[in-house]
Amino acid sequence: MIGSANGVRIGITGLGVNVPDRVVSNDELAEYVDTNDEWIVERTGIRERRMASDGEALTDIALPAAQAALADADADAADIDLLICATVTPDMMFPTSSALMADALGAHEAAAYDLLAGCTGFMYALAQAYGMLASGLSRRALVIGGDVLSSILDWHDRSTLVLFGDGAGAVVMEHVPRGGFLGFELGADGAGGVHLQLPGSGSRHFDQPEALLKMNGREVYKFATRVMVSSATAVLEECGRTIDEVDVYVPHQANKRIIDHAVGKLGVPHERTVVNVDRFGNTSSGSIPLALADARADGRLADGALVLMTGMGAGLTWGSALMEWTEGSGS
Ligand code: UT7
């Protein structure tokens, strides 16, 4: 799916993030599996990640992010009429985490649902909220992306345990006077889905109650390096913009090597690229908003800045968005 905005201006007016307090170093993971800090840093760029403590579930981590986004937008939860939570690790399948959070926030007028698109979930959710707002069905949306991947990791599998972390981010989306989203490109390749899956998590594998993440890292790596470039290129073309015009590049934070590959192929200067995989690992649906928040904290999200975001993950799925940041209309 690909498309560009037709004069409709819908942007982000509030941004908030939250990560669990518990910091887990590479050395700590070496107590569970045969690995070491040197291998992890060299092959992934990850130095530490945050992980939920016992009893901490998705909504515990995502709610503070949502509250921060609302405060940032100077918005009242009661004025939110759409709440989408992108996640593969909801508190439970139902009630949905979005419905639970809508209630906790006081967003009693909101349609609320969870969205499942792997690590690309936040990008899909942005596009959905955009469509709802552009059609006039929604007036103010809250989009949350977050995951507690530590809850589905196999703590005996070194090839996956070291890669992931927990965290969440949220944005308020509404009509803005200038700037906003320029276009989206989203895709899915179910044939490659087998390379990153959670067997035992749904109706097909009811005889395998153990639901732990399984990944063929090399295949996902090949997929990732391909789509990070093709998706970004496609959305830029669709919007009639070039990579030279991009002020802030926000790639999914899965592996520093994947980011470096995309940066090289796309030709984005490193100083325009947001990298925080060293501190958070791959936080799945939390990855893009956490990176956006870092870019903002660094002063990079100036008014009018052209921002390119690309995510990819289980499905296999991918998605890009191009937007002009609108500072001041809430954010
Ligand atoms: O949102 C999408 C989520 N997933 C991804 O983006 C993951 C994409 N894939 C990757 O990032 C990389 O493929 C990995 C980081 C998972 C693996 O890196 P790699 O350079 O492709 O390593 P490899 O799988 O080719 O393995 C090389 C060696 C193997 O040992 P042998 O067979 O050569 O003896 C692995 O067993 O490294 C070994 N290895 C480890 N060694 C120490 C795998 N994991 C570890 C580890 N510590 N944690």
Residue 68: pLDDT over 70: yes
Cα 216 to ligand 1 centroid, rounded to whole Å: 9
Residue 118: pLDDT over 70: yes
Q: Verify whether ligand 1 is closer than 6 Å to residue 44 (CB atom).
A: yes
The chain-wide mean pLDDT, for the chain, equals 96
Q: Which of 261, 301, 266, 294 is nearest to 278 (CA)?
A: 294
Average pLDDT for residues 172-201, to the nearest whole number?
96
Encoded tokens for 68: 């921060």
211 pLDDT band (50/70/90 cuts)?
Answer: confident
Average pLDDT for residues 81-89, to the nearest whole number?
98
Gap between the Cα atoms of 168 and 125, Å rounded: 14
Average pLDDT for residues 311-323, to the nearest whole number?
98
Cα 280 to ligand 1 centroid, rounded to whole Å: 18
Question: Which element (helix H / strand E) includes 113?
Answer: strand 111-115
Q: Model confidence over 155-165: pLDDT tens digits?
A: 999 999 999 99
Q: Model confidence over 42-59: pLDDT tens digits?
A: 999 999 999 999 999 999
Cα 43 to ligand 1 centroid, rounded to whole Å: 7
- Cβ-based neighbour number of residue 256 at 10 Å: 17
Determine the residue of 159, 189, 252, 278 to mutate for testing ligand 1's pocket, defined as the one with the most ligand atoms within 8 A of the Cβ atom. 159
Q: Verify whether ligand 1 is closer than 6 Å to residue 317 (CB atom).
A: no
Which one is catalytic: 119, 195, 239, 255? 119
Gap between the Cα atoms of 331 and 87, Å rounded: 24
Q: What is the pLDDT of residue 144?
A: 98
Q: What is the pLDDT of residue 328?
A: 64
Residue 330: pLDDT over 70: no
292 and 233 in contact (C-beta within 8 Å)? Answer: no
Residue 10 per-residue DSSP state: E
Query: Of 13-27, 43-57, 208-222, which gets the smallest average pLDDT?
Result: 208-222
Residue percentage of the chain with pLDDT more than 90: 94
Q: What is the pLDDT of residue 7?
A: 82
- Sequence-separated (6 or more) residues with CB below 8 Å from residue 91: 57, 58, 59, 97, 100
Which one is catalytic: 18, 195, 252, 261? 252
209 pLDDT band (50/70/90 cuts)?
Answer: low
15 pLDDT band (50/70/90 cuts)?
Answer: very high
Q: Verify whether ligand 1 is closer than 6 Å to residue 35 (CB atom).
A: yes
The answer to whether 119 is a known catalytic residue is yes
Q: Verify whether ligand 1 is closer than 6 Å to residue 262 (CB atom).
A: no
Average pLDDT for residues 178-193, to the nearest whole number?
97
**Within 13 Å, how many C-alpha atoms sit on residue 26's CB side?**
19
Q: In this structure, what is the dihedral angle of CA atoms 25, 29, 34, 37, given to the nearest 10 degrees? A: -10
Intra-chain end-to-end CA distance of the chain, in Å = 29
Residue 249: pLDDT over 90: yes
The answer to whether 239 is a known catalytic residue is no
Q: What is the pLDDT of residue 329?
A: 58
112 and 311 in contact (C-beta within 8 Å)? Answer: no
- Sequence-separated (6 or more) residues with CB below 8 Å from residue 122: 86, 143, 145, 169, 285, 286, 287, 288, 289, 311
What's the predicted TM-score (pTM) here?
A: 0.97
Between helix 121-135 and helix 287-297 the angle, nearest 10°, is 80
Ligand 1 atom with minimal separation from the 44 CA: 15
Ligand 1 atom with minimal separation from the 224 CA: 6
The answer to whether 282 is a known catalytic residue is yes
Average pLDDT for residues 202-231, to the nearest whole number?
90
Q: What is the pLDDT of residue 45?
A: 98
Q: Verify whether ligand 1 is closer than 6 Å to residue 138 (CB atom).
A: no
Residues in the chain: 331
Q: Model confidence over 270-294: pLDDT tens digits?
A: 999 999 999 999 999 999 999 999 9
Alpha-carbon Rg for the chain in angstroms:
18
Q: Verify whether ligand 1 is closer than 6 Å to residue 162 (CB atom).
A: yes
What is the per-residue DSSP string for 119-151? GGHHHHHHHHHHHHHHHTS-SSEEEEEEEEGGG
At residue 222, what is the residue type? K
Q: Which of 120, 78, 85 is nearest to 99 (CA)?
A: 85
Average pLDDT for residues 75-91, to the nearest whole number?
98
At residue 301, what is the residue type? L
Q: Verify whether ligand 1 is closer than 6 Å to residue 282 (CB atom).
A: yes
Question: Which element (helix H / strand E) includes 307?
Answer: strand 306-313
Determine the residue of 221, 260, 277 to mutate for testing ligand 1's pocket, defined as the one with the most ligand atoms within 8 A of the Cβ atom. 221
Residue 69: pLDDT over 90: yes
